[in-house]
Amino acid sequence: MRGEFRIEGPIRDFDGSTWAWVKVALLVILLGFIATGGYYGIRLVCAPAAVVDRVADPDRVIASYEWFYERYNRVQSIDRQISSALQALRGLPADATARERDRLRANLNGLCQLRAELVGDYNARAQMGMTRDLFRGSDLPEQIAYAECPIP
């Protein structure tokens, strides 16, 4: 007959009734859930390999290695600057103004705070376990000691 819509196969006697459309909609939704679950299941299974690839990426290894050396050398540089600032503060003549003394103390305090921040970053990354500690050079310390700021 003309105008009659009929499909035969997995959905028997699909004649366009409301119940048949509900069955098709539910089937599509079910297939969507199965596909989504499969996608996330595969991602979950493959996640450890992706982590290993990311951690062992040569560019990341080199960047992490260089970061430890750069940070350690910055701490050493700040230590020398603190010594110079402390020497300048102690070498002030007795007739130096309070403003000059305060300026040198503020400079020394700022250097001490910068050193504490650099040491904190270094020590935090060094304690991150395998992903960071493996990339620290063997000639670098595991931890850098915090130091009190020697403001007279």
Q: What local confidence, expressed as pLDDT, does residue 111 receive?
A: 94
Q: If you ran DSSP here, which 8-state letter would residue 93 be given?
A: -
Listed in sequence order, the DSSP H helices in the chain are 18-55, 58-90, 98-126, 130-133
Q: If you ran DSSP here, which 8-state letter would residue 14 be given?
A: B
Q: Which pTM does this prediction carry?
A: 0.60
pLDDT tens profile 66-108: 888 999 999 999 999 999 999 998 888 888 888 999 999 999 9
Q: If you ran DSSP here, which 8-state letter would residue 149 be given?
A: -
58-90 and 98-126 helices, crossing angle to 10°: 150
Q: Are 68 and 135 in contact (CB under 8 A)?
A: yes
